[in-house]
Structure 1
Amino acid sequence: MRQTDEPTGLAKVLMPVPDPHPDVFDRQWPLRVADIDRHGRLRMDAAARHSQDIGQDQLREMGYETTHPLWIVRRTMMDLVAPIEFQDMLRVRRWCSGTSNRWCEMRVRIDGKRRGGLVEAESFWININRETQGPARMSDDFQAALKRTTSLDRLRWKAYLKAGSRADAAEIHHYPIRFTDIDLFDHMNNSVYWTVVEDYLSSYPELLKAPLRVTLEHEAPVALADKLEIVSHVHPAGSTDKFGPELADRTVRTLTYLVGDEVKALAAIFPL
């Protein structure tokens, strides 16, 4: 159970894995070449894809793949605690850390089983009605299954990030959308948003030397024909209390995903 005096928002404390627990979904697979950067590190877009994959596997094993097949992620918070390196075996665990009747937060922990390394993540998932494409109530038995690993059953959405403007941006660049980026909803898949983060971090490799938290919020879908721009800002330490008092002592970098004047997504990057 989360304590009421714990940090919230961008500085929130992620729920630890309740292990051993029969309702923690636990799988293993090798870290493959397509999931690593040129230094052999598990990339964050690959970690996001693994988080999606184990979610689909868990739905299937629980017997809800047909009744609850469609989900949209609203936010993912990912902590790169220590790099997971090539030729390691991934241990991926997933469990519910908070729920309501139409959405839930799901925790994922990815461990490098042989060589160490750790990635922690928590995503806010919305159950979607196939016909209306809007939020749908989860069945009572499905909710009951989720609640077995959490006491938080009145989960509410609250955005953590606000858009940055082009006027005072540190950098602005175009990010091309490829046909292979588009998923079942005819939108850019969740994991592709993380390639933007990886692209940004490639210019600042020093940020990957320390534990790092990246929070990515989705505002509106990106389509194939969209002209996506990434607007970045750097907020120095001492000016970052607006992100929460716990972050006032560190630099926070933000990315705003824009198509014209419409905000599509937001990301915040800072050392843990």
Structure 2
Amino acid sequence: MAESTGLAKVMMPVPDPHPDVFDVQWPLRVADVDRTGRLKFDAATRHIQDIGSDQLREMGFEETHPLWIVRRTMVDMIRPIEFKDMLRLRRWCSGTSNRWCEMRVRVDGRKGGLIESEAFWININQETQGPARISDDFLEGLHRTTDVNRLRWKAYLKAGSREDADEIRDYPVRVSDIDIFDHMNNSVYWSVVEDYLYNTPELLTAPLRVTIEHDAPVALGDKLEIISHVHPPGSTDKFGPELTDRVVRTLTYAVGDETKAIASIFAL
């Protein structure tokens, strides 16, 4: 696995064939695509969540490890996946610690579309709502696809300020956005990205990396605002030396003075 370099990290390639890579297929449906027929980021992340649940059940740990929260999801849209395609999703572990892991999902379309993703998942104790140790037998299965066993959390993004924002706009939280944990579901954060891309369609003409880091949950009734910034080339060393030559856009999800999440968008 390539060493992490923050936002510009190289994702672990799929170890294929490998008996511990979870491999499923399902069709791309009308609710998954935008007006042009492209698989949307919010729909892709729903699929990423769903295959995670399916793999947990397949491995036999759905009852003992039922609650996970995602701290970061990185999604590369390499080539758009289009309507009426058949999706092949492969999921495997790319790094672990005792209480969290990084899980890779590769989504292939039969017509050549490709989305790569990696998510940082934390195992949660239902009673304390804090990080919980992953059982040894679960870790044994995860370790079969990676030799990274001392994974540490490091934030890649910092919140943007209101003072120098390019735009600040409201994003109403709907009842249908709230999931079983009484928080705005992870995939809804990606709906904000889709709204942003609608107004910046030029970003979709090249491979794109979008990363979202979560700091705190959004609840029903929160007055959520999206604070947008555009960082031109030469000012983007804060995101890592590999990104100083390109535009990096950020979206800060804020409720009052509290940052709930931060997204970054840039061309690969």
TM-score, normalization by structure 2: 0.99
CA distance in 2, matches of 1:264, 1:202: 23
1:153-232 aligned within 5 A: 153-232=149-228
- By how many angstroms is 1:140 displaced? 0.2
1:32-181 aligned within 5 A: 32-113=29-110, 115-181=111-177
CA distance in 2, matches of 1:266, 1:64: 31
Deviations 1:194-213 (A, max 9, x none): 00000011000010110000
Percent of aligned pairs with the same residue? 78
Aligned residues: 268
- By how many angstroms is 1:238 displaced? 1.0
CA distance in 2, matches of 1:139, 1:209: 44
4+ long deviations beyond 6 Å: none
Supply the AA of the counterpart residue of 2:35: R
Matched, 1:238 2:222: no
Supply the AA of the counterpart residue of 1:65: E
Q: Is the 8 A contact 1:7 1:246 kept in 2?
A: no
User: SS at 2:122's partner residue?
Assistant: strand
CA distance in 1, matches of 2:144, 2:18: 9
Matched, 1:251 2:267: no
Question: Structure 2: any 5+ residue segments left out of the alignment?
Answer: none
Question: Structure 1: any 5+ residue segments left out of the alignment?
Answer: none
Q: Is the 8 A contact 1:35 1:42 kept in 2?
A: yes
Deviations 1:224-249 (A, max 9, x none): 01000000000001111111010000
Q: Is the 8 A contact 1:85 1:117 kept in 2?
A: yes
Supply the AA of the counterpart residue of 2:29: R
CA distance in 1, matches of 2:255, 2:116: 30
Deviations 1:147-195 (A, max 9, x none): 0000000000000000001110001100010101111211000011000
CA distance in 2, matches of 1:116, 1:108: 16
CA distance in 2, matches of 1:187, 1:37: 25
CA distance in 1, matches of 2:99, 2:264: 26
CA distance in 1, matches of 2:195, 2:181: 24
Deviations 1:3-30 (A, max 9, x none): xxx4510000000000000000000000
Supply the AA of the counterpart residue of 1:164: G
CA distance in 1, matches of 2:204, 2:91: 24
Supply the AA of the counterpart residue of 1:242: K
Supply the AA of the counterpart residue of 2:96: T
1:255-270 aligned within 5 A: 255-270=251-266
CA distance in 2, matches of 1:128, 1:33: 34
User: SS at 2:199's partner residue?
Assistant: coil
User: SS at 1:180's partner residue?
Assistant: helix
